[in-house]
Structure 1
Amino acid sequence: MDIKDIARPLDGAGVSAFLRSLPAQPLLLGLGEARHFVGELGEARNEIFRHLVEHEGYRSFAIESDCLMGLVVDEYVVTGAGTLDDVMERGFSHNFGTFAANRELVCWMRAYNEEHDEKLRFHGFDGPLEYWAASPRQALTALYALLDGPLPCTRETLDALLGPDERWANEASAMDPSQSIGRSADAQRLRLIADDLVALLDTQAPRLGAEEWERAALYARTATGLLRYHYWLADASPARWTRLSALRDAMMAANLSAVAERGPALVFASNLHLQRNKSLMPFGDQVLEWWSAGAITAKHLGDRYAFLASAFGVVGDDAPHPDTAEGVLSTLPWDQALIDARRLAEAVTEPAKRVSRDFAYFPLDQAQLGTIDGIVFVKQAVKLDWPGRAPAADA
């Protein structure tokens, strides 16, 4: 089989043809990252999203970033509130606001909305998490403010139980469970209060407008998710990080479910979070294994979820061996291509396993090609915008 027979150039026509090949139009189209901060993939993602908006009726974009911070970006792209610099600083977690392609996307979404009545929407779908977790204050107090009495406690009691945010956002708790306050008496009581607030929200749903309800539901699942995550941060068992990884992806999946209710959306995140199979990741002397947000979402949406994994040929100065899947794909005549993943599994039956010198790159797993709908292949990924520094001028 000629490898060109199962691939096409990555352009608008190719994206539309890919969508037509699926058994159903996806409500969520996941575009995975084999590595964060790759300028070429970010630019390709932006072109894909523009095409989906202008030709396929997509109106939402979701990214692996703090769901509460994402509200700042959404307000900006819908209404123009704030300044672009401030939005890029306050609206993203994981240093994603420094990524040139994200800035370009936010600018384009804002410009589109200025000219159209039907607005594009922006969503962060990660929890307020790094390896540690943020304070549940924002989510809990915002939910509390949206509800009518009788409430399970006074606002003063809620503030007293929350205490200083610093004791929650303690980075040391990531590696030392004894540093976490997730099983303190205050935290345990806050979990009960959060549960009561969520139940109260359900009883008051009829009086809330659509936007109010969506915002309240986001606060509710974020508050309960954060408090649950903090509880397991305090766990000292060997299963601690497997459980925390699973809880994070479950929070992501819940947010994606809400995004899907708005209609078709492009979702951008690590391949590990969007794939249908279990995620495996080396972590110290362990290999963590958990079901990804994509796997959970696919369970609920079925054919209405589709997944495009990304893969790269050259990554920085690291080139694939010709016998790897990425090496075979590098023989394609296009700089960027869209590949039928399942047919690739038939064409490349015994590839060598790629071992990349770039620790941040996750190579294609031949065994999982049958669970991927397509592959976005970038022949050369050379614009690597590392976190914590300004993007390159040409990014």
Structure 2
Amino acid sequence: MLSSTGLGPLGSTFNRRRSATNNNDPPSSSAGPASHNNGSGMINVSDKGRSKSLLRERDAKITALEKEVLSLRNQISNLSTAEPAITYGSGNKKKNLTPYGNTVRVSTSKCSAKRRQLLAERARMGRNASIATQKALNDLPDDQMTNGGFSSQQALIDRIQDMFRSPHEHVAYLKSEQFAKDMLKLNKKVRAVLEDEPRCVFLQSPAYVFGDIHGNLEDLHFFSDNVWNLGMSLTAGNFVFLGDYVDRGMSCLEVVSYLLAMKLMLPHKVFLLRGNHETRDVNGWEEHYGARSYIAQCRERFGEEIGYKIWESTNATFDRLPLAAVVDQDIFCVHGGIPRPISDSSVEGGRIKDILNVSKVAGINPPYEHEDDNYQQVASDCIWSDPASEEQEQYSVDRRTGY
């Protein structure tokens, strides 16, 4: 019970706001007293009305804080990326699962209180997503907005992903000048990414490891449907491909473009190792593989001049692929086999150090002039070595080194 006469003008205003709340009307400084006066100067203010008033005041503060947090999060997001700004045009279709920045929006909870809350869209992940995967996703650069439409890089990735999902609907694109330009641009961008990777990459489990693809788009579709059906970005773990992406199959360009696009989109989640078919001597061996060779498919698709340019551009990317990967400091992944030692084999990690010392750009077969003969041997062993037969082990293996 409060006395308006004892509190003076302040008490009168306080009681007026309370009474307005008690009658479920919004408070107004111009409204007169709405609560009941018992004639003795005392005004009854119910607990229910007071609670509602406090809730409204606190909700107003929460809303203001939410807006401030949202503004700060967006400022941090804008400062943390150097990617060119993009926008989502109103006429574009709904995009499929791709890595975005920390997009924060205000939503209303589904409980009876209808509280406002902040939701981070980027936190949505696969059912089996790990903390490490979520951290990797959060470290991805944000897509910013501008009046210019999609950034050229994101638009390129979108075209490749659309093609991969339904290649039969994109036959015209696969034979177009746009696809040729996309291949050249994709190779250039991925080369810059690969030059920052060591010759032997180190990663953590969980990891999916895939063998030879050899231009077989159906195999990639099977893996996509059964391993990363939510999209690679929302699937827990890393993806390691062991090489031999081209030749033999008739979809070499489609396979290469998709894998390179995934590498560009998820550089710290997708790892492409080099196989023996990622060399000019092999994927340019048209006399042996005929129409199934990579160079023949480039020429057939784009003509002699442009086809050769795309073939050479892709091989320049292959020259920069890592040769091996180590998972959890325990599992060694390589296309061929363990290389012969060129340094003291008793030194711990000697074989890994040999791989790490291979030139950043290695032609291997044929080699560049700058390639050291010993390290060319290391690289060649990584992509060419096969298990020895029992007869070879008896007569051709050095018992001191095991090679």
Fold agreement, TM-score > 0.5: no
Normalized against structure 2, the TM-score is what?
0.23
Q: Greater share of strand residues, 1 or 2?
A: 1
Normalized against structure 1, the TM-score is what?
0.24
Choose between structure 1 and 2 for higher RCO, CA contacts under 8 A separated by at least 6 residues.
1
